[in-house]
Amino acid sequence: MNGRTRYLILGLVSAGVVGLDQVTKMYIMQTMRLHESIPIIPNLFSLTYIRNPGAAFGLLAGSSSAFRFVFFGLTSVLALVLLGAILFRLPERDWMGQLSIAGILGGAVGNLLDRLRYGEVIDFLDFYYDVYHWPAFNVADAAISVGVAFLILHFALEKKRQEPALQQDQS
């Protein structure tokens, strides 16, 4: 497969994540009131509309909006540049690594769009057991988490495959 087709597919994956993320957030904002919660699976999962001005798990939520705008703007741009560099440096045959990065990239763009438009991120996926809640998240967060998990798994498996080859070369 040529480079153009490969990057088209990866671009479509990233754009698909951004599109799904933005459509679901728009739906939540248009159909629910802020802090409204709709149980889907009792004592396990609800749709709960919240806005997170901070980072993951609400970190920096208490900081000034100007600080958050600059901080998240700079870190987002740096993250996007780093992800792009990693994506272009991965070997062409490394589809798992490339798809993982494309998902992470799509998630990062989805949350960056929220920060630019609203100054905070729209979250609505609320998993919990009884009174113990995991912090609410969104499609972009899920894509980032799944992408990072697959990337870690991929690099761990790749390292295991390379170790026996290195040991044979040294013999």
Contact, 47 vs 27, CB < 8 A? no
The active-site residue out of 21, 114, 126, 141 is 141
Please confirm, yes or no, whether 141 is among the known catalytic residues. yes
Residues 43-48: contacts with CB within 8 Å, 24+ apart?
A: 43/128, 43/129, 43/130, 44/127, 44/128, 44/129, 45/125, 45/126, 45/127, 45/128, 46/126, 46/128, 47/124, 47/125, 47/126, 48/123, 48/124, 48/126, 48/136
Please confirm, yes or no, whether 169 is among the known catalytic residues. no
Beta bridge partners of 48: 37
Q: Which among 138, 158, 127 is positioned nearest to 42, based on CA atoms?
A: 127
Q: How many residues does the chain have?
A: 171
The active-site residue out of 21, 114, 123, 126 is 123
Write the CB contacts of 171 (distance below 8 Å, at least 6 apart in sequence).
none
Give the catalytic positions in this structure.
123, 141
